Structure 1
Amino acid sequence: MEEWGYPPASDVSCTVALLVAELASNAVRHGRVPGRGFRLRMACATATRTIRIEVSDAREDRLPAFPAAPTADDEAGRGLVLVDLLATRWGTAPRVPVGKTVWAECGAP
């Protein structure tokens, strides 16, 4: 992030760190296939100042759905709520040859 002009303590860097953490933890928890990991890719579109985070895993059958609001007693289920709040937009795409990619974008000022 610093190479793209965003210091570690900046709002943009902190937002991206939270998005990466949520998407990566979901890939580990819900997208894991024994013997396979996940792939993280980040890109910065300088013209639009948009940062794109992509996390790919080998499970194509477990797509994330728009998050339902968790109750106060729920111990899980807040990850995609955070992604939905922090990201400018997010979604999924098939991964060739197998799996899926969950992506999130956030705009920078």
Structure 2
Amino acid sequence: MNRAITPHVAPQQQQAPAHEFSMQFTSTPRGARLARRLVSHRLHDWGYPYDYTPNETMTFIAAELTANAVRHGHVPGRDFHLRLTATAIALRIEVADTRTERCPAPGDLTTPPTDTESGRGLYLVSQLAHRWGVAPRVGAPGKQVWAELRLPQ
């Protein structure tokens, strides 16, 4: 697994996504919870059952990224955007928010202390995803945090 933060790049596969889901959510805990649930449901509908490891892993990653968008990327009156895609070889999630000044720095990602109650989200994403990164949002202010999970062949 590539655990480093990499610049925004297109997925390694050059094929168009077989499935795509995209939606805006309110920047509230309820919006993050709904986004997480819809990711799991969409993956199930696309043939990745709820109890299949890629569904569980992507749902967890979605929970972390959407919670971060609500907690650290919230701008009053602005929503966050989620995009989920699936190809034959990978699942990809992108969560965009409107905060530009709260962007994780690549050098800051270290193993979190065991005695803290928070601060593990992106570290866990880095351990679960095969690739992930942060990029400026295209066509709007803010940032996009994305993660990719290769599918078993």
Tell me if TM exceeds 0.5: yes
Does residue 1:98 correspond to 2:141, yes or no?
Answer: yes
Secondary structure of the 2:82 match is strand
Which residue of structure 2 aligns with residue 31 of structure 1?
73
State how many pairs are aligned: 107
Equivalents in 1 of 2:73, 2:100: separation in Å? Answer: 8
Cα distance in 2 for partners of 1:26, 1:101 equals: 11
Correspondence 1:14 to 2:51: no
Unaligned runs of 5+ in 2: 1-42
Hey, what does 2:33 align to over in structure 1?
Answer: none
- After superposition, give the CA deviation of every residue in 1:9-30 in whole Å (9 maximum; x if it has no partner): 1001000000000000010011
Q: CA deviation at 1:73?
A: 1.1
Cα RMSD for the two superposed structures: 1.0
Matches within 5 A, 1:37-56: 37-46=79-88, 49-56=89-96
Which structure's relative contact order is higher, taking Cα pairs within 8 Å and 6+ residues apart?
A: 2
Kindly state the Cα deviation for residue 2 of structure 1 after the two structures are TM-superposed: 1.9
Alignment of 1:62 onto 2:102? yes
TM-score for the superposition, normalised by structure 1: 0.92
Alpha-carbon distance, 1:5 to partner: 1.7
After TM superposition, the runs of 4+ consecutive aligned structure 1 residues lying more than 4 A away are: none
Cα displacement (A) at 1:4: 2.5
Q: What is the TM-score with the length of structure 2 in the denominator?
A: 0.67
Q: Distance in 2 between matches of 1:65 and 1:78?
A: 14
The offset of 1:72, in angstroms, is 1.6
2: CA distance between counterparts of 1:65 and 1:75? 21
Deviations 1:75-104 (A, max 9, x none): 111101110000001001111221111000
Does the alignment pair 1:107 with 2:147? no
Percent of residue pairs identical: 50
